[in-house]
A and B are shown apart, each in its own frame.
Chain A
Amino acid sequence: MRAWRALRADRMLFASAIAAVLLVGSITFGPPILSAIVGHSSDTPFPYATDPITRKPVGPLTKVWDTTTEYTDDSGYIRKPPPKGTPKTWLIAGADGTLGRDELLRLLEGGRTSLEVAVGGTIVAMAIGVLLGTIGGFLGGFIASAISRATEFVMAFPLLLLVIAIGSQSHNGVDDITLGFLPRGVFSLIMLIGLFTWFYPARIIHTQVAELRNRDFVEAAVMIGAKDVRILRTHVLPHVLPTAIVYTTLLIPVNVLLEAGITFLGVGIKLPTPSWGNLLSAVWGSVLNPQYTSTALRSQVWLTLLPSLMIFITVFTFNQLGEGLREAFDPESRQ
């Protein structure tokens, strides 16, 4: 209840909470609704959404012939318009590249992939981190120092280098695990991110639990003979929960950036599954030297701008949400 009041009181927190809900909602429910309205899926190629010669995709807000076949004249080389009566369809954010697929649908579905990776990786990291942090902080002694060493050990790995090096080699069996609803490759990326980012929540939770362990109310509970499990559940976890929620919220944007980076470097999510990382890399560099890149991709700034913008909005929203939650749970940290 206190959190709800804080939510209403803090405009920034309220706004970012609404933005986060809108974002997740549009990414989850957007693609099916939108493809029902426009009548095509994110994988439907529209030859007429690209230039007949250079294959340069059309820009945002264009109406193109709704057909997946390209009609040519008798020579077979020159494109002609489709037969009369072919309907037209809207490409709201333009086409995605030489194939002429719907960029908006791919952005939303790519967002779904990216958020699945980010949220999944966060959940795995938080689960390991909270578990090890709580055990280490509560029990202390030998176990605590063993866990601290393990934490330092994972921290010592150059994470991104390692993820790239392992990720590029792990496509054989792990990529096929989908748990029934995830796209290919998402699960392995989730595990990879989760297994190498748990150390941060672990350290935070460890410090906090170790502090709580010495507080009077925990001492009192120990003194009246309460069991460890009961102390953890009724006295320690309620204090740890806000921290866990805050860091879950703050790890999500980190992992969105990480997914985009890993996939951009050619290691994470593989095409044809869209993700913000591979949408970003699709025409990368054509902004820098439009006169040198292949004519097909010439100066379609949209295709770099839109995924960048989506990543920015997501990361910004979740960062603000996390910071807002931190202040709501711990008003003293506000400055």
Chain B
Amino acid sequence: MARFIAVRLITAVCLLFALSMITFLVYATIPIEPAGFLVDLQHAKPAQIAAAHRALGFDHSIYYRYWVYISHLVRGDFGVSWTSLGIGYDGQIHGLPVRGMVLDAAGVTGSVILGGAVVLILIAVPLALVSARVPRSILDRAVVAVSLIGISTHPLVIGLVLQSLFSVHWRIFQGGYCDLTGTTPPPLNTHFITQQVNPCHGPVDWASHLILPWITFALFFVALYMRVLRARLLETLNTHYIRTARAKGAGEARVLVRHALPNVIAPTIVMLAMDAGTAIGISIYIEVVYGLQGIGHLVLTALSGERGFDLPLILGVMFISATAIIALNALADVIARLIDPRITSISRAGAGGVRSGLA
């Protein structure tokens, strides 16, 4: 087991390294003029542009730039965001560090995804229990039908409908986002309107701001998870030990919750971890609909700046989200192995099924 974990860890680090290289090279091939972030390109003299390039480290070859990038990266330095660049009173170039920006945004995205995953389990497990209890009943079919509507509607549309009903029309839940920790991310220096994030009045306030995004998130995945959970439950209910439990006089509720459910929960957690990539994708839609300032918002802002795109910011977002995905995938592998030692990495067909394609 220790060997498996070690191998998995080394693979993960190698993957991460390769990924950082590929993303860097991909973006380096896109022609951009970073000097525009420091000087006015229409009036600047060539010498000023050259000086700007030198200040941004753009006068070196791409390989050297990658070396500089990666050697800063291993020390946890993601560079500064180009859009925020400015020359201070001391004549030096200053900018917002990418790391802080991405981590703040990742906090928003992370709270959407984690809360959404909890809501997902809270919805999917009872529904699966109900529909596995009496397969092919009217109740079962109704549950399946509702979840099919959830999976066939675009998350953007689900978000819009929920928001216009609960937030605008009935005014039950507030829109926007409030920060639980009380620190506010600095507004970005772009043409996007950035609202100041207001601190929360406690966890309940925080949850009431985020409940609609969580439900939107959960509705997208619920059909899939319910289908998998239901299939696994039906399979488990046919096993001998369930029959034994029934024979010993256990009530139906006890059989389902105490005997069948634990066998189903663990694989579900593995599935959740495997779906991290999809979850980040879905959370971009959710951030757009609900106006949350997560990493999706950060990337869209970084791409749509008037002066070109903000390379360090995009690389930072890519790297941090890839780290999260790779770490969760590795964790899923390890948990899956702990649950069932026969499982190998490739036979774990899975993760949310074909929907993984979505993000």
Residue of A148, A159, A210 with highest tally of chain B CB at under 10 A: A159
Interface size on B, as a range, is: 35 or more
- 1/0 per residue B320-357: CB within 8 Å of A? 01100110010000000000000001110110001111
- For the complex, is B204 an interface residue (Cβ under 8 Å from A)? no
CA distance A312 to B154 in the complex (A): 7
User: For B2, what are the chain A residues with a Cβ–Cβ distance below 8 Å?
Assistant: none
- 1/0 per residue A254-278: CB within 8 Å of B? 1101101100111000000000000
User: For A98, what are the chain B residues with a Cβ–Cβ distance below 8 Å?
Assistant: none
Interface size on A, as a range, is: 35 or more
- For the complex, is B221 an interface residue (Cβ under 8 Å from A)? no
* Complex interface: stretch among B120-128, B157-165, B261-269: B157-165
- 1/0 per residue B288-326: CB within 8 Å of A? 100000011001100110000100001001100110011
User: For B284, what are the chain A residues with a Cβ–Cβ distance below 8 Å?
Assistant: 160-161, 164, 261, 265
- For the complex, is B5 an interface residue (Cβ under 8 Å from A)? no
CA distance A164 to B295 in the complex (A): 12
Report whether over half of chain B's contact residues are helix, strand or loop; otherwise say mixed. Answer: helix
CA distance A160 to B357 in the complex (A): 10
- 1/0 per residue B14-49: CB within 8 Å of A? 011011000100110010000000000000000000
CA distance A308 to B168 in the complex (A): 20
With contact pairs A161-B280, A250-B354 given, residues A207 and B19 touching in the complex (Cβ less than 8 Å): no
- For the complex, is B186 an interface residue (Cβ under 8 Å from A)? no
Q: Are A200 and B154 in contact (CB under 8 A)?
A: no
Q: Are B164 and A287 in contact (CB under 8 A)?
A: yes
Q: Are A158 and B358 in contact (CB under 8 A)?
A: no
- For the complex, is A142 an interface residue (Cβ under 8 Å from B)? no
CA distance A157 to B153 in the complex (A): 25
- For the complex, is B93 an interface residue (Cβ under 8 Å from A)? no
User: For A304, what are the chain B residues with a Cβ–Cβ distance below 8 Å?
Assistant: 157, 160
- For residues 270 through 284 of chain B, which have their beta carbon under 8 Å from a beta carbon of chain A? 277-278, 280-281, 284
With contact pairs A156-B277, A158-B277, A254-B357 given, residues A164 and B154 touching in the complex (Cβ less than 8 Å): no
User: For A312, what are the chain B residues with a Cβ–Cβ distance below 8 Å?
Assistant: 149, 152-154, 157
- For the complex, is B62 an interface residue (Cβ under 8 Å from A)? no
CA distance A312 to B358 in the complex (A): 15
- For the complex, is B135 an interface residue (Cβ under 8 Å from A)? yes
B277 touches which one: A155, A250, A320 (CB < 8 A)? A155
Q: Are B359 and A159 in contact (CB under 8 A)?
A: yes
CA distance A190 to B157 in the complex (A): 23
- For the complex, is B285 an interface residue (Cβ under 8 Å from A)? yes
- For the complex, is B231 an interface residue (Cβ under 8 Å from A)? yes
Tally of A-B Cβ pairs under 8 angstroms: 162
- For residues 230 through 284 of chain A, which have their beta carbon under 8 Å from a beta carbon of chain B? 247, 250-251, 253-255, 257-258, 260-261, 264-266, 280, 284
User: For B119, what are the chain A residues with a Cβ–Cβ distance below 8 Å?
Assistant: none
Q: Are B300 and A164 in contact (CB under 8 A)?
A: yes
- For the complex, is B148 an interface residue (Cβ under 8 Å from A)? yes
- For the complex, is B130 an interface residue (Cβ under 8 Å from A)? no
Residue of A168, A266, A320 with highest tally of chain B CB at under 10 A: A168
A158 touches which one: B11, B160, B280, B304 (CB < 8 A)? B280
CA distance A312 to B151 in the complex (A): 9
CA distance A172 to B225 in the complex (A): 41
- For the complex, is A335 an interface residue (Cβ under 8 Å from B)? yes
User: For A320, what are the chain B residues with a Cβ–Cβ distance below 8 Å?
Assistant: 148
Q: Are B26 and A335 in contact (CB under 8 A)?
A: no
User: For B70, what are the chain A residues with a Cβ–Cβ distance below 8 Å?
Assistant: none
Q: Are A335 and B318 in contact (CB under 8 A)?
A: no
A316 touches which one: B152, B285, B349 (CB < 8 A)? B152
- For the complex, is B156 an interface residue (Cβ under 8 Å from A)? yes
- 1/0 per residue A272-307: CB within 8 Å of B? 000000001000100111000000000000001000
Residue of B300, B309, B329 with highest tally of chain A CB at under 10 A: B300
User: For B277, what are the chain A residues with a Cβ–Cβ distance below 8 Å?
Assistant: 155-159
Q: Are A258 and B299 in contact (CB under 8 A)?
A: no
With contact pairs A254-B354, A319-B151 given, residues A161 and B299 touching in the complex (Cβ less than 8 Å): yes
B354 touches which one: A247, A260, A266 (CB < 8 A)? A247
Q: How many Å from the CB of A250 to the closest CB on chain B?
A: 5
Q: Are B329 and A197 in contact (CB under 8 A)?
A: no
User: For A203, what are the chain B residues with a Cβ–Cβ distance below 8 Å?
Assistant: 346, 349-350
- For the complex, is A181 an interface residue (Cβ under 8 Å from B)? no
- For the complex, is A226 an interface residue (Cβ under 8 Å from B)? no
CB-nearest residue of chain A relative to B280?
A158
Q: Are B160 and A153 in contact (CB under 8 A)?
A: no
- For the complex, is A206 an interface residue (Cβ under 8 Å from B)? yes
CB-nearest residue of chain B relative to A317?
B152
Q: Are B346 and A206 in contact (CB under 8 A)?
A: yes
- Which residues from chain B sit less than 8 Å from chain A, CB to CB? 11, 15-16, 18-19, 23, 26-27, 30, 135, 148-149, 151-157, 160, 163-164, 168, 230-231, 234, 277-278, 280-281, 284-285, 288, 295-296, 299-300, 303-304, 309, 314, 317-318, 321-322, 325-326, 329, 345-347, 349-350, 354-359
With A152-B15, A258-B359 given, name 14 new contacts (CB 8 A).
Answer: A149-B15, A159-B278, A160-B284, A160-B358, A160-B359, A161-B280, A199-B356, A200-B357, A203-B346, A203-B350, A207-B347, A280-B157, A304-B160, A315-B151
Q: List 7 A-B contacts (CB under 8 A).
A: A153-B19, A158-B359, A159-B281, A165-B318, A199-B356, A207-B346, A315-B153
